[in-house]
């Protein structure tokens, strides 16, 4: 049916006043070239700046754009969860507000949705790459962290932290209602839950553009991810997600 939403795009946003227009301009162009119906949900995470105001200037230009604003800051995971819960599309993807993975790369993931319930963008899978190479320290640190995360919580996934993940509608609802981690580590828990529930996961190579203004602290957040991976491991063993 024409009125059915094929794709929901969820964008968590915190202090994105200067960058939110980048992805919304990209989505405006992307939507124009598609025959299927798309909704876009910008979820503003208690941001103290004018992120929501800037996003609202695109409401008339982007069909299906909705701004969800809350005063309380809940973290990226909690913000993505709120958007997923509100999404109505057959397929649901969340992506970063800085468009670090260009939105048109949705087209790389969509073909796999008929065979997999979860399809995620990967910088380290076949076909994936960093548009601008990172320093050797960042690259080595990222790979070591991934090995630890795989060992503790989610084996077999080369890139748990790329913020470009797509789900079938029903799978997204089942996974996110079980989610407990609301910070940057939520991706790890989401993938672990998906695997625990028996959903098939596919990594698809994408091109990723490093954001020099990212709020992620490599060392501090890396330590948190290790701690949260251990928590996920314990939750899996105790049956918390089932």
Tell me the mean pLDDT per 10 residues along the chain, length 242: 87 96 97 95 96 98 97 94 98 96 97 98 91 73 90 95 96 98 96 98 94 61 92 96 91
Cα separation, 185 vs 201, whole angstroms = 18
* Residue 52: DSSP 8-state: H
Cα separation, 122 vs 175, whole angstroms = 20
The pLDDT, as a whole number, for residue 31 is 96
pTM of model > 0.85: yes
Work out whether the CA dihedral 135, 137, 142, 143 comes out positive or negative: positive
Query: Exposure pattern of 164-198 as b/e (b: 16+ CB <10 Å)?
Result: bbbbbbebbebbbebbebbebbbbbbbbbbbbbee
The pLDDT, as a whole number, for residue 217 is 59
- Domain 5-238 -> CATH class: alpha beta
Residues 6+ apart with CB under 8 A from 17: 47, 49, 50, 51, 53, 54
């Amino acid at each position: 049916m024409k009125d059915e939403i094929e794709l929901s795009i969820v964008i968590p946003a915190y202090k994105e006043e200067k960058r939110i227009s980048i992805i919304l301009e990209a989505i405006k162009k992307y939507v124009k070239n598609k025959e299927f119906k798309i909704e876009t949900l910008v979820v503003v995470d208690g941001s103290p700046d004018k992120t929501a105001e800037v996003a609202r200037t695109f409401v008339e230009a982007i069909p299906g754009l909705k701004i969800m604003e809350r005063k309380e800051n809940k973290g990226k995971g909690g913000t993505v969860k709120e958007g997923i819960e509100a999404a109505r599309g057959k397929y649901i993807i969340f992506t970063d507000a800085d468009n670090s993975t260009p939105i048109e790369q949705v087209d790389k993931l969509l073909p796999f949705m008929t065979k997999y319930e979860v399809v995620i963008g990967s910088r380290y899978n076949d076909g994936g790459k960093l548009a601008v190479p990172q320093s050797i320290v960042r690259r080595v640190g990222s790979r070591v962290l991934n090995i630890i995360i795989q060992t503790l919580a989610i084996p077999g996934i080369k890139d748990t932290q790329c913020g470009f993940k797509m789900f079938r509608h029903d799978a997204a609802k089942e996974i996110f209602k079980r989610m407990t981690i609301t910070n940057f580590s939520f991706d790890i828990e989401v993938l672990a839950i998906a695997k625990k529930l028996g959903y098939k996961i596919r990594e698809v190579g994408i091109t990723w553009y490093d954001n020099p203004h990212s709020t992620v602290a490599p060392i501090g957040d890396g330590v948190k991810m290790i701690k949260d991976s251990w928590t996920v491991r314990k939750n899996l063993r105790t049956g918390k997600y089932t």
